[in-house]
Amino acid sequence: MSAATAVAGALQVAGVALAPLAAGVVQHLKGRLQGRRGPSPLQPYRDLRRLSRKSGVDVAGSGPVYRAAPAVVAAATLAALLVVPVAGHGPGWGLGHDAVTLVGLLALARFATALAAWDTGSGFALMGAARDLAFAVFAEGVLLLVVALAARQAGGSTDLLALADAGAGAWADPSHWCAALAFALVAIAETGRQPVDNPDTHLELTMVHEGPLLEYAGRDLALLTWAGWARLWLVLLLGVALFAPAAGSVLAGLAIAAGAVALLCAALALTETALAKMRILRVPLFLGGGAALCVAGLAGATL
Amino acid sequence: MTALLLAGVATLAVGMLAPSLRSTTGLALPAQAVGAALLAAGGVWVLAADAAVGAAFSSEIRPSLGLDALSGFFVVLVGACAAPALVAGRDALRDSPVRRPLAVLTGGFVLALAGLPAARDVTTFLGFWELMTLLPAAAILVARRERAVRDAVFVYLAVTHIGGAGVWVAMLLLAQHGALGGTLAPGGPAALVTVAAIAGFGTKAGLAPLHAWLPRAHPVAPAHLSALMSAVMLKVALYGLIRVLFEWTAPTAAAGYALLGLGALSAVGGALYALLQGELKRLLAFSSIENVGIVVLALGAALVLEGPWSAIAFGAALLHAANHAAFKALLFLGAGALSDAVGRTDLDRLGGLLRRMPWAAGALLAGCAAIASLPPLNGFASEWLALHALLEVAAGDATGQALAGAVSLAALGVTAGLALMAFAKVAGMALLGAPRSAEAATAQDAPAGTRAALAALAASCVGLAAATGPLLHALGGLHPAGGAPGPALAPALPGTGGLPPLGLLVVLALLTALLARLAAGRGRTAAAPAWACGQPGDPALAWTSAGFTKTLRLVLEPALRPQREVTTRTRGAVVTEIAHRAETPHHFDTLLYRPALRASLRAARTARRLQSGSLRLYLGYLLALVLVLLALVRLEVLA
């Protein structure tokens, strides 16, 4: 194993600890942009500490699936973190680096969340889970189209390492712009940010990703909340891997990655301040726009 | 090898004869299960040795049987699914008044299923083909006497015979041109054979839009027959399609694009209508259409692509066929176990069964995760491979190919999302939460034999996933055009980031165990009711299948056109009764079959006018015929 791979592997694991920071930074910036002081960027860590000291609470009538779900969700998200390379490198961890594997791991987390919602029988949890699964139907299709389009730049490879190498020089190609834009749309839906979902909502009827978390407490909730933050971190890293310029050395690569993640966090804070949440039934149309972009990009690339 | 296979056939035949004596009836299905297992073992041997036993293909009309590696694979599928299905069937039929005829018909069905891949000439092939269609119909009619069931069987026979005519056309043409065992040169006959084969085998495989019989016939059969029909019969029909498109005619990209289109339609349509069903077995039947669609998508990619990727796509198709056989047999047998325990299979009447029947429900839960193509199970592995085959199509340089690949790819992505939602619904409504009916609240777990069968199938879902690498190597190698699909272990395929099924299994298991320990650290307080804005929970407010799919139904309203009817009855100003009826019609029926049916009835009415009953008119017809024939001979059209 080369030094670069070792560093990247260490950073993938460090993502476990860094993921809450990205979410905290977005919240902090958002507060500033909205004229508030906003929570400290470290607030997610305080939340985790608070939750980790509390005991779990079972929902009456629920069973082993409800209990196991937080661990499965967090494990699938963690495994997905290990699949995404950092600064163009990664040790693989026996999981490989394939984009489709990543899609599968995220689906596993979604499935476990939905089953937990069914196990509680709670209307709000199921409402959120049903919406999440319905959006995922469209999001998965578009995500695969983005992968197909990005893979053209890497000689047809869906290896994230190859994609990270190839994504940098491709900006002269209009199809790459289509892929980047479509990826942005999917990323918003996948991470549950505005305008698809409002991560700050406390109104049960509007919840998508938060709904199934309502019935959890203590460390279970800590794991699920962490998984939500980790998914944001993961999608940011994926965006960086696919679309940020590649660097010669690992150090430069890390600097670029850090800068790009910070930039994306700021962009998220800005869009979340400027855009209101859209009607739930319009989300598929929003994602359909991504699909149209990809097909147009693909047609453009082959003509 | 041959002895093992013959022993399997003989044991099956003995099992079929057993019900002729009342005292040995109970042994019929177990004996057949042993026979099926022997057949599977023989098939594995043929497959592993890549050997051929018995006769070779011949275009002569000379009934003969034999196996090569591809046939061996399908015999393995038949045997490996039939053994657990027959074991579970024995439990389900124990007190049935019709168990003797059913046992005979079941055994015959298994033999027909195994016979078709072993057929080596056109008469044997078509004979087994018809038996494979008729025997399950007879079994359903013996098992159930309701009018609705008879109608379903009639539709099954009608559609499969109208579509199945394509099989006769294709096979007889091939035999006429001496192409069984050879390859038909490209040209007019080859094109006709291709179209007829896609229509004929596609109908029997449940490929949209000729799938109308499948969601009718599969749910009404006894569970072990449903399992055999969905898990095996559809695959055996695909076996015929594979032989014709890959071996007996020269593979063409045009056929590949046709398969991509039909596969995408079946996959998305099947998954969408599966999601909307509220009855478990009907849902599973629609999901079979979806999975056949996925297999056909991969076959289409194998025809469009060249070189090693063609072999990989071919291997992915066969692997998904095997994986689907494993989890669909599991799901249908599990549905049968639930049906026996609760008395019904409406999802809105099950619920909470994981607590009441941990064995059957636990196996079902694994099956749901596998069919939803989730890592680390087998459904994920083969769908991963199919997705990569389509990605490879989309990476082509020609615009047409790239767009066809992209559309199929998006269709498969959407299918995966729909299947995930459908099986989250199945697992959630049937197995989790609170019981939704009094019968579900007092259900008992399945008998030991059924439990063992379900556990074995659930284990096979994990085992097939772990063996993805070697299996892909072996199955990709069955591609008639040859070509190596890459290294045997942990498929590190060219142009992918690698699929490590074992790595996923180990990493996910370790991480889950670790995190579960972490979460358990602080203990748990007493259980509390679910949050309902401070109100007490009410079982009548439990979520239904329709509620869970509402978002998607609303989004897809223009395509699905759900119908809803609310009738409010008032007396004075007081509402006394509200009747609500909602359904999502199956648009393949309303938009395709009903107009076709109307048109053919109208044509029949018109044709009836020709049959006036007047002798003079018939003499006129004969005279006209003679004149036409004479004219044709004169013009030298007829030599």
Question: Model confidence over B342-383: pLDDT tens digits?
Answer: 988 899 888 889 999 999 999 999 999 999 999 999 999 999
| Contact (CB<8Å) B420/A96 | no
Residue spans of alpha helices (H) in chain A: 3-33, 43-52, 64-83, 99-120, 123-153, 160-166, 174-191, 218-243, 250-274, 283-302
pLDDT score of B293 more than 90: yes
Domains: count for chain B:
1
Query: Measured between beta carbons, which residues in chain B are less than 8 angstroms from residue A72?
Result: 512
**Which range among B90-94, B121-125, B451-455 shows the weakest confidence by mean pLDDT?**
B90-94
Query: Do B53 and B66 touch, CB atoms closer than 8 A?
Result: yes
Residue B505 in tokens: 């299994």
pLDDT attached to residue B225: 93
Closest CA in chain A for residue B427:
A115
Does residue B613 lie within any of the structural domains? yes
What's the average model confidence in pLDDT over B20-47? 88
More confident residue, B496 or B316: B316
Query: Of B392, B410, B507, which has the smallest distance from its Cβ to A156's Cβ?
Result: B392
User: How much is the average pLDDT of B463-479?
Assistant: 90
Return d(Cα B191, Cα B193) in angstroms, integer: 5
Q: Would you say residue B525 lies in a domain?
A: no
**pLDDT-derived band of residue A159, with 50, 70 and 90 as boundaries?**
confident
Across the interface, which of A126, A156, A299 has its CB nearest the CB of B403? Answer: A299
Domain-located, residue B596: yes
d(CA B282, CA B428): 17
Mutation target to probe the B interface, by most B beta carbons within 10 A, among A84, A93, A100 is: A100
pLDDT tens digits for range A49-104: 999 999 888 888 888 999 999 999 999 999 999 999 888 888 888 888 899 999 99
Question: Given pLDDT bands bounded at 50, 70 and 90, which one contains residue B484?
Answer: low
Cβ–Cβ of A104/B551 closer than 8 Å? Answer: no
Asked if pLDDT for residue B31 goes beyond 80, the answer is yes
Instruction: Assess whether pLDDT exceeds 70 at residue B483.
Output: no
User: What is the ipTM score, two decimals?
Assistant: 0.95
pLDDT (0 to 100) of residue A106? 94
Q: Are strands B524-528 and A56-59 parallel, antiparallel or unpaired?
A: parallel
Shortest Cα distance from A266 to chain B (angstroms)? 31
Q: How far is CA B297 from CA A138, B374, B386, B405, B471, in A?
A: 19, 19, 8, 10, 19
- What is the residue range of B596's domain? 589-634
| Mutation for B interface: A106, A126, A132, A137, most B CBs within 10 A | A137
Residue type (1 letter), B501: P
Q: Is residue B614 part of a domain?
A: yes
Estimate the crossing angle of helix A64-83 against helix A3-33, to 10 degrees.
Answer: 110
Q: Which one is predicted more confidently, B281 or A171? A: B281
Query: Could you read off the pLDDT of B405-434 as tens digits, one per residue?
Result: 999 999 999 999 999 999 999 999 999 988
Q: Is residue B155 part of a domain?
A: no
Tokens found for residue B367: 């099956």
Crossing angle (nearest 10°) for helices B448-466 and B69-92: 150
DSSP-derived 3-state class of residue A58: strand
Residue B181 has what pLDDT? 82
**Number of C-beta neighbours around residue B447 at 10 A:** 17
Res B639: pLDDT: 61
Q: Average per-residue pLDDT in chain A? A: 89
At A169, is the pLDDT very low, low, confident or very high (cuts 50, 70, 90)?
low
Give B90-113 pLDDT, tens digit per residue. 888 888 888 888 999 999 999 999
**Residue B526 confidence (pLDDT) above 70:** yes
By residue count, chain A amounts to: 303
| Residue B321 pLDDT class (50, 70, 90 cuts) | very high
Test A130 with B549 for CB contact under 8 angstroms.
yes
Cβ <8 Å between A123 and B506: no
pLDDT the model gives residue A168: 65
All residues of chain A having their beta carbon less than 8 Å from the beta carbon of residue B514 are 75
Q: Domain for residue B406, yes or no? A: no
Q: How confident is the model at residue B233 (pLDDT cuts 50, 70, 90)?
A: very high
- What is the mean predicted confidence (pLDDT) over B506-521? 91
Considering only residues A195 and B286, tell me which one the structure prediction assigns the higher pLDDT: B286
Per-residue pLDDT, A8: 86
Using CB atoms, pick whichever of B409, B500, B537 lies closest to residue A95.
B500
Residue of B nearest to A282 (CA): B555
Q: Which residue of B has its CA nearest to A296?
A: B403
Contacts (Cβ under 8 Å, ≥6 apart) of A166? A150, A153, A154, A155, A157
Is residue B179 in some structural domain? no
Report pLDDT digits (tens) over B610-623.
Answer: 887 888 989 999 99
Radius of gyration of chain A (CA): 19
In the predicted structure, residue B227 carries a pLDDT above the cut 80: yes
The alpha carbon dihedral of B581, B587, B591, B592 has a sign of: negative
pLDDT at B122 over 90: yes
Cβ of B511 within 8 Å of Cβ of A107? The answer is no
Other CB atoms within a 10 A radius of the CB of residue B155 amount to 16
Are the Cβ atoms of B406 and A126 closer than 8 angstroms? no
Q: Concatenate the DSSP letters of all residues of B241-276 into one string.
A: HHIIIIIIB---HHHHHHHHHHHHHHHHHHHHHHHH
Cα separations in angstroms, A215 against A113, A122, B260, B528, B529: 11, 8, 44, 9, 9
- Given B388, B424, B512, which is nearest A114 (Cβ)? B424
| Portion of chain A with pLDDT greater than 70, in percent | 98
Q: Which amino acid is at B421?
A: M
* Confidence tier at B491 by pLDDT (50, 70, 90): low
Beta-carbon separation of A158 and B495 below 8 A: yes
Residue of A55, A77, A133, A142 to mutate for B, most B C-beta atoms under 10 A: A133
Check residue A200 and give its pLDDT. 82
Q: Compute the C-alpha angle B518/B523/B526, nearest 5°.
A: 140
- Does A61 contact B433 at a Cβ distance shorter than 8 Å? yes
Residue in A53, A100, A134 nearest the CB of B551:
A134
Q: pTM of the full predicted structure?
A: 0.94
Average pLDDT, chain B: 90
Cα angle: A135, vertex A136, A141; to 5 degrees: 110
Picking from B519, B542, B555, the nearest residue to A220 by CB comes out as B519
Residue B594 lies in a domain: yes
Give A236 or B490, the one with higher predicted confidence.
A236
Contact B409 A148 (CB under 8 A): yes
* Inter-chain CB proximity A133 and B420 less than 8 Å: yes
Cβ-defined contact of B495 to A134 (cutoff 8 Å):
no
> From the list B429, B498, B513, which residue is nearest A96 (CB)?
B498
**Closest chain B residue to A147, measured at CA:** B391
Residue A201 corresponds to which amino acid? T
Nearest CB to B416; choose among A119, A131, A140: A140
pLDDT at residue B489 tops 50: no
Residues of A in contact with B496 (CB under 8 A): 96, 98, 100, 157-159
Region of residue A156 (left: phi > 0; alpha: psi -120 to 50; beta: else): left
Nearest CB neighbour to B532, from listed A123, A141, A157: A123
Question: pLDDT confidence of B537, banded at 50, 70, 90?
Answer: confident
Q: Cβ A144–B427 below 8 Å, yes or no?
A: no
B539 DSSP assignment: G
Average pLDDT over residues B279-297: 96
More confident residue, A171 or A25: A25
Q: Which two tokens stand for residue B284?
A: 């599973």
Q: Which residue of A has its CA nearest to B352?
A: A119
Return the residue of A nearest to B519 by Cα: A219
Alpha-carbon distance B429 to nearest alpha carbon in chain A (angstroms): 7
Lowest-pLDDT range of A78-82, A169-173, B246-250, B317-321: A169-173
